[in-house]
Amino acid sequence: MQGYQWLRASALAMLATGAAFVAAPAQAQGSLVMYCGVQEEWCRAMSTTFEKETGIKVAMTRKSAGEIYAQLKAESANPRGDIWWGGTGDPHLQAAEEGLTQEYESAANKDMQDWSLAQWRAAQKRTIGIYAGALGFGFNTQQIKQKGLAEPKCWADLLDAKLKDDVQVADPNSSGTAYNMLATIVQLMGEDKGFDYLKALHKNISQYTKSGAAPAKAASLGETAVGIVFIHDAVVFAVQGDPIKAVAPCEGTGYEIGSMSIIKGARNLDNAKKFYDWALTPAAQALAAPAKSYQVPSNKNAVVPPQAPKMSEMKLINYDFVKYGSSAERTRLLTKWDKEVKPLP
């Protein structure tokens, strides 16, 4: 897959330049309203470090990607947010198309991976890729053994009747992860077979959670046998020794380009631009791993955490971000899922 040689980037070169950001002294510099789409711990690390280094007071709220998109839309006549940082790229692209976010070109663009800039170009400069991660699932090794099942390796394995009420995934309306799964399944299997798969899977779903990463935690605790999540969200629990294994499905899988956008009508526009420039530095991107977030960063000079799943070794589909991030397609697929899958018994 062209443009994805970034996955083999030299760790040495990254280390050499990894500490390029020099902190400015903290003093009162106004404020910034940040809508944050990743895990709470990483959101907090970003907001508090930026605040400490610049003196800009950050009011941060964590929400799932679909919820932030809906909030921007609801607030569009009177925008309250300045920067939307993180979360899957599809709703960022939809917001760009609908004019909810605004153009920006950072001097740091020269250091970004091709996939990050592809997102920026697709959105007419209104969003940019900040990290990448592949979709998959995590399973609880003890639960799978107790059920007498072989370790699941493929999407097809999740349809086994022994997994009835023992699979979790988020609701694609609220969750960027779950929309990424919906779009992945449609691209991988074709729309008719994809929806057949989602309907069959529904029989095994115990609940559609609000947040995308919640099923990984549930699987790590044995509350569900399988959680469909971004692979890095399952790795978090495997790394800390929980009985969970992360899987890149054998048929192939999709991936996300986590993104960042400046909100149209931002009241603190200069501070939003400062945050944007800073968030693209290797030093800011290095805050992910200590906050237990193991995505692949978008700055070519940032260190890829050793725990990050090796996307170069997975069978990745050629995810069509432009199509599945378009307003018409995202709205159409969500409406169809709401009508044909969610109400099933």
Q: Which residues pair with 260 in a beta bridge?
A: 85, 128
Pairing mode of beta strands 128-140, 296-297: antiparallel
Least distance from ligand PLP to the Cβ atom of residue 232, Å: 6
Least distance from ligand PLP to the Cβ atom of residue 123, Å: 16
Q: Is 44 exposed, middle or buried (0-12, 13-18, 19+ CB in 10 A)?
A: middle
Q: Which residues pair with 168 in a beta bridge?
A: 207, 227
Least distance from ligand PLP to the Cβ atom of residue 152, Å: 21
Q: Which residues pair with 131 in a beta bridge?
A: 258, 297
Q: Which two tokens stand for residue 283?
A: 């030093």
Q: Which two tokens stand for residue 264?
A: 């149209």
Q: Which of residues 261 and 295 has its CB atom nearest to ligand PLP in the complex? A: 295
Q: Which of residues 54 and 131 has its CB atom nearest to ligand PLP in the complex? A: 131
Q: Which of residues 266 and 296 has its CB atom nearest to ligand PLP in the complex? A: 296
Q: Which of residues 170 and 183 has its CB atom nearest to ligand PLP in the complex? A: 170
Least distance from ligand PLP to the Cβ atom of residue 138, Å: 13
Q: Contact residues for ligand PLP (CB under 6 A)?
A: 37-39, 64-65, 87-88, 133, 170, 175-177, 211-213, 230, 233, 256, 258, 293, 295
Q: How many CB atoms lie within 10 A of CB 116?
A: 29
Q: Which two tokens stand for residue 178?
A: 């779950």
Least distance from ligand PLP to the Cβ atom of residue 165, Å: 22
Q: Are 60 and 47 in contact (CB under 8 A)?
A: yes
Q: Which of residues 81 and 258 has its CB atom nearest to ligand PLP in the complex? A: 258
Least distance from ligand PLP to the Cβ atom of residue 335, Å: 19
Q: What is the helix (H) or strand (E) element at residue 289, kind and residue range?
A: none
Least distance from ligand PLP to the Cβ atom of residue 50, Å: 18
Strand ranges for 141-171 from DSSP E: 167-170
Q: Which of residues 88 and 127 has its CB atom nearest to ligand PLP in the complex? A: 88
Q: Which of residues 209 and 281 has its CB atom nearest to ligand PLP in the complex? A: 209
Q: Which of residues 87 and 265 has its CB atom nearest to ligand PLP in the complex? A: 87
Least distance from ligand PLP to the Cβ atom of residue 30, Å: 28
Q: What is the helix (H) or strand (E) element at residue 234, kind and residue range?
A: helix 231-239
Torsion from C-alpha of 240, 253, 70, 170, nearest 10 degrees: -50
Q: Which two tokens stand for residue 269?
A: 């526009």
Q: Which of residues 56 and 214 has its CB atom nearest to ligand PLP in the complex? A: 214
Nearest residue to ligand PLP on Cβ basis: 212
* Long-range contacts, 183-186 (Cβ 8 Å, 24+): 183/90, 183/254, 183/319, 183/324, 183/333, 184/135, 184/253, 184/254, 184/317, 184/319, 185/155, 186/333
Q: Which two tokens stand for residue 183?
A: 């779009």
Least distance from ligand PLP to the Cβ atom of residue 173, Å: 10
| Dihedral pair phi/psi, residue 19, rounded to 5° | -110, 35
